[in-house]
Amino acid sequence: MTVVVPVAVFTVALFVLYTLLLREFDPFHVLLFVVAMLAPVAAVIAVAAGASTGVGIVVAAGSPVAVIVGFETVAHRRQAAALERALP
């Protein structure tokens, strides 16, 4: 939990800041957020089921990886369009 909670807090803060700074709600980011939050949940379940702490840390590290992959494949175009709308 000492690893998973900070990862979850970081993920929540990242998406909240993105939404507040762009002043726009993007449904794709909800999907990306859900996928990113699956990693910490899976880490807790894996360790509770008997996996080692190291395995839990590796699984929890998948949360930022999911955000990076989602952003680099799809979300960067959506962010560019949102910035076009937000900036004069």
Contact 37, 64 (CB under 8 A): no
Rounded to whole angstroms, the Cα distance separating 73 from 52 reads 32
Amino acid 34: pLDDT: 92
Per-domain boundaries in the chain: 4-86
Q: Which residue shows structure tokens 């929540």?
A: 12
Amino acid 29: pLDDT: 85
Q: Please name the residues in contact with 36: beta carbons below 8 A apart, sequence gap of 6 or more.
A: 11, 63, 64, 66, 67, 70
Which one-letter amino acid corresponds to residue 58? V
7: DSSP letter: H
Mean pLDDT of 21-39: 87
